[in-house]
Each structure stands twice: as structure tokens, then as C-alpha cells.
Amino acid sequence: MLGRALGDQNQTLESGGAVVKKEGQILRFNELASAALQRKSREYFQGQTAKLRGMFWPLDGDKEFTLFRLKMTCCAADSIPLKVRIISPEPLSFRTRDWVEIEGTIEFRKVAGKEEWIPVIQLESADKVKSTSPDNNEYEI
């Protein structure tokens, strides 16, 4: 299965990491995106609690945003965003590219008209999004 064991549940997130609390694993953003591609992985992570750090990118409305990090394979010029949609029951007021840490429930939603799934984190409340200092490295390598 994706991820690796997490010894201390209170440890801070490493660069690009996401903690999945129920199973005590640390995932990377790209592993969560990869889990969306496989039915068994979706079933495994569905409903588990995740904690992620990344940059805020607002979507239409004030209750949804994309949390993202950049994936670099060779150099900054080939970077691509790794994204997770975040849904809050209440309005949020962060600025584009603010660094935030979120905690919520993992879901996978089917893309309309396609055989494709995306990872979504559903928040219990807006206070599950906290401003945080930027990571030393914004890239997931």
C-alpha cells in the first residue's frame, strides 16, 4: 500500500507530506493523487482523516479551494502542481498562495462524464484550516 509508517502521530509534516491518521501513515501529495487512480486504493483511504500542508488556491465561491504543492522531477522549469480539492462547510478568507495546514476526511469524487476520480478532503469546520509558515522547499521532489 502507499505511504510509510508514522511513529509519532504528533510529529510535524515533512515537506510535501500528508498524515493519514487512522492508519498512521505519511503520504505525499502525488501518492494521494495516485490513490485516486486505483479502486482498491480509493477504498482503502476513503473516510480516513488526513492532515496536509500546502499552498491555498481559491476556487469559485468561498467554501472550496485547491491545496497544492509543486512537483519537480528535474528542474523548476518542469514543475507541475499536485492538487487536492478542499471543501469547507463555512467561508474561508485566505489569500492566493498562502501556506495552510488542513485536517479533514479523505473522499474520492468521480469527474462528471469521465472514468476519472479526484481526491477531495472534506473539512468538519473552517477552523480545520490554519495558516502556517512556508516550507523551506515548496517542491515535492
CB 1 within 8 A of CB 34: no
Q: Look at residue 21 in the predicted model and tell me its pLDDT.
A: 62
Instruction: Kindly report, residue by residue over 20-38, the tens digit of the pLDDT.
Output: 665 667 677 888 889 999 9
Share of the chain above pLDDT 70, in %: 81
Q: Is the pTM above the cut of 0.85?
A: no
Instruction: Flag whether pLDDT at 131 surpasses 90.
Output: yes
pLDDT of residue 9: 42
Read off the pLDDT of each residue in 42-52 and give the average, rounded to a whole number. Answer: 91
Structural domains in the chain, sorted by start: 4-140 (2.40.50.140)
Q: What is the 3-state secondary structure (H, E, C) of 92-107?
A: CCCCCCCEEEEEEEEE
